[in-house]
Amino acid sequence: MIAPSVLAADFGHLEREVQLVDRSEAAWVHVDVMDGRFVPNISFGFPVLRAVRRATTKPLDVHLMIVEPERYVARFAHDGADWVTFHLEATEDPLHCIHLIRESGAKVGVSIKPKTDVEALRPILDKVDMVLIMSVEPGFGGQKFIPESLDRIRALRAMADVVNQDLLIEVDGGISSENAHLLFEAGANVLVAGSSVFKAEDPEAEIHAMLEAR
Ligand code: DX5
Ligand code: ZN
């Protein structure tokens, strides 16, 4: 699956940009929320999420790069998130966070930054629907893919084979049709792509090319 990230879209024409994804072969729309504390950048919040929600019927995959995610997960689900992903590094109590997301009716994702050991996920791996492996430092679009991420995906897939065979692995940062095949080969199920899609001359063709890489 491909999940284009609206962070790289033209916000002056957000509806048009989201509709472009809606028409395409992409499975989900990825929505990056940044609070200026967990990451050194601020993106957008609830009103923009609601505008994205109105522009597509595809599932919204909300990636929370915010501290104390437990304070807000239910509100993101209420405002249109089908998937709510929080950062393991951002909370003292991941189990509580998972519980709150489940209670809200959304699917549960947990994300780790490039320097966090995948082993840190082991205690909660059977309790989540998805793990999002960051393949760049979170906070900004348009960065270069970190090649070591491939080994991290393989290690996570091996762990999941034992405790949670249905686990989806999503990867985010520096992904395009150039490296998509490496990620699918390593065991990823969902690829997030911001700049490669929205800055492409033909975004739908770029999405198609990434899927062809499987
Ligand atoms: C980065 C965000 C990404 C970002 C990816 O912190 O989580 O989703 O939009 O952008 P590209 O695909 O340009 O690396
Ligand atoms: Zn993201």
Domains of the chain: 2-212 (3.20.20.70)
- Does pTM surpass 0.85? yes
Ligand 1 atom nearest the C-alpha of 137 is: 6
How far apart CA 59 and CA 82 sit, in angstroms, is: 6
To the nearest 5 percent, what fractions of the chain are helix, strand and coil?
Answer: 45, 20, 35
Cα atoms in the 13 Å half-sphere on the side-chain side of 86: 31
Q: Of residues 10, 22, 32, 151, which has the active-site annotation?
A: 32
Residue the block writes with tokens 């491939």: 150
pLDDT at 167: 98
Which of 42, 149, 183, 195, when mutated, tests ligand 1's pocket best, judged by the most ligand atoms within 8 Å of its CB?
A: 195
Does 138 sit in the ligand 1 pocket, CB within 6 Å?
A: yes
Given the CA of residue 176, which atom of ligand 1 is nearest to it? Answer: 12
Q: What is the pLDDT of residue 53?
A: 98
Closest Cα to atom 6 of ligand 1: 138
CA separation for the pair 137, 121 (Å, rounded): 18
- Segments of 21-127 assigned E as strands: 29-34, 60-65, 83-87, 107-112
Q: Give me the amino acid identity at 186.
A: A
Instruction: Give the chain's residues under pLDDT 50.
Output: none
The secondary structure of 179-190 as a DSSP string is: THHHHHHHT-SE
pLDDT tens-digit map of 111-146: 999 999 999 999 999 999 999 999 999 999 999 999
Check residue 214 and give its pLDDT.
84
pLDDT for 3: 99
94 lines ligand 1 (CB under 6 A): no
Provide the pLDDT for residue 158.
98
Rg of the Cα atoms in the chain = 16
Give the C-alpha separation, 82 to 62, whole Å. 8
d(Cα 30, Cα 191) in Å, to the nearest integer? 10
Q: What pLDDT is stored for residue 66 in this prediction?
A: 98
41, 112, 172, 175, best to mutate for ligand 1 pocket (most atoms within 8 Å of CB): 172
Stretch (H or E) spanning 78? helix 73-78
Q: Exactly one of 35, 61, 129, 172 is catalytic; name it.
A: 172
SS3 17: helix
